[in-house]
Amino acid sequence: MITRQHLQEAVHLPEFDRSESLRRMAPPGARLPAEGIVPREAAVLVLIFPYENALHLVLTRRHPQLRGHSGQIAFPGGRRDPEDLTYEATALREACEEIGVCNEMPIEMIGRLSTTYIPPSNFSVVPVVAYTASAPQFVPNPGEVDEIFAVPLASLLNPAVKQVEDWDFKGERMRIPFYILNGHKVWGATAIMLSELEHRLRRVLSPRILAALRESYKLKS
- Phi, psi for residue 85 in degrees, rounded to 5: -75, -25
Model pLDDT for residues 129-145, shown as the tens digit of each residue: 999 999 999 999 988 89
| Beta strand extents in the chain (DSSP E only) | 40-51, 54-62, 73-74, 77-79, 108-112, 116-118, 123-131, 145-152, 162-169, 172-181, 184-186
Q: Would you tell me how many other CB atoms lie within 10 Å of the CB of residue 42?
A: 22
The pTM (predicted TM-score) of the whole model is 0.93
CATH code for the domain of 213? 3.90.79.10
Average pLDDT for 8-12: 98
Number of domains in the chain: 1
Range of lowest pLDDT (6-20, 49-63, 159-173, 200-214):
159-173
Q: Is the pLDDT of residue 65 over 80?
A: no
The secondary structure of residue 34, as a DSSP letter, is P
Model pLDDT for residues 92-109, shown as the tens digit of each residue: 999 999 999 987 789 999
Range of lowest pLDDT (32-36, 44-48, 70-74):
32-36
Looking at residue 30, what is its pLDDT?
62
Looking at residue 36, what is its pLDDT?
73
CA 18 to CA 45: how far, in whole Å?
19
Looking at residue 160, what is its pLDDT?
95
Looking at residue 66, what is its pLDDT?
59
Residue 152 structural domain: 4-220
Average pLDDT for 18-42: 82
- CA distances, 8 to each of 53, 60, 154, 163, 199 (Å): 18, 23, 15, 28, 14
Mean pLDDT for the chain?
Answer: 91
